[in-house]
Structures are given as C-alpha cells and as structure tokens.
Amino acid sequence: MARRGHSRADRNGDDLNMAVRRFDPRRIKRHHSYTVDEAARTIGATRGTVRRWLDNDLPAIRDRRPFLILGEDLANYMARRARPKIACPPGTCYCVKCHQARQPAGNIAEFVPINAHSGNLRALCPDCGYLMHRRTSFSQLEAIRGILDVAVMERQPRLNDGG
C-alpha cells in the first residue's frame, strides 16, 4: 500500500482553514482504528473537536462502543477540510487523491442517509478508483438522480449519547 504524503497540496490550503491546520494528520496511521480519545490525542485536537467532526460527516464505526474511527477516514476528512472548497458541479464528487471534482465511474453512486436531511454520497473515482464522498442533502439527491444512478442504502445506526 503506497503511503505517499501530499505535502505540496497541503500547503495550498494554508490560510483557508486554520482550524484544521493546527492539527497534525501526519501522525494518523491509516490502517489503525481510533477511539474519539485516541484520535484527538493523535492529531493534537480536543475530544470536542473530534466529536464535532463526527456530527458533521466524519465516518465512524458506530455499531459498537466506543465508536471507532478508521485512520484512513480521519486523514481523508482532515485533508478535505484543510483544502479550499472546490465547487463540485452537480453529479460529481471531489476526489482527495486527484484533487479534482470527478464524475463517478460508470455514473454510479451510493447514498447513505446520515440524518433526516442529508447523507453521504459515495462513488468511485474514474481515474484512480478511490472512494469519493460528498455530503448531499435529500433535495440535492433528487437533482443528482437525473445524472447518476444512485442506490440509496439503509441509514447507518447511530448512537445517541448526547455526546
């Protein structure tokens, strides 16, 4: 598995998201799973910050306690946030490997509802095969379905511990 850094790209986002830039994603081991506590310690953030990311759209394994966050997901999430927002045209997703908006391979995507209003659109990058994510509201989903073949998945179980 290639573990190449992307220091050149990191620098592009310098001024844009100081909040994320303060933390250090290079310490994340991609094949490791972290509890909220461990993730916070690893990147030098507070647990509250990591919980906010989880409430946003940082993926986690939520069917057991404590939640586990995959290093890969955490690193990707931070990479996305640290980078200037690129306006992805409807029906495309941002590929964190290519650093570009991409039309999903085969025009196929999966939609995983997160809450009553929105979910995560997942699709494969046609160029590098990497799994792309895009936070998508249900109303955006309707528009996207005219462009992509979207399979709607079951809502992920979510523990409600008041965090």
Based on the shown chain and the rule CB under 5 A, indicate whether residue 95 belongs to the binding site for Zn ion: yes
39, 125, 141, 144: which one binds Zn ion (CB under 5 A): 125
User: How many helices (H) and strands (E) would you count in the chain?
Assistant: 6, 8
Candidate list 14, 37, 63, 127; residue touching Zn ion; CB under 5 A? 127
Q: Which of 98, 101, 105, 147 binds Zn ion (CB under 5 A)?
A: 98
Nearest-approach distance from CB 129 to Zn ion, in angstroms: 7
- Here the tokens at position 21 are 């830039």
- For residue 119, which of 98, 102, 135 has the smallest C-alpha distance? 135
The residue (of 130 and 138) whose beta carbon lies closer to Zn ion is 130
Nearest to 159 by CA among 27, 71, 82, 63: 63
Nearer to Zn ion, 42 or 92 (CB): 92
Given 97, 105, 131, 152, the residue binding Zn ion (CB under 5 A):
97
CA–CA gap between residue 158 and residue 27 (Å, rounded) = 28
Shortest distance in whole angstroms from residue 72 CB to Zn ion:
15
**Separation of alpha carbons 112 and 118, rounded Å:** 9
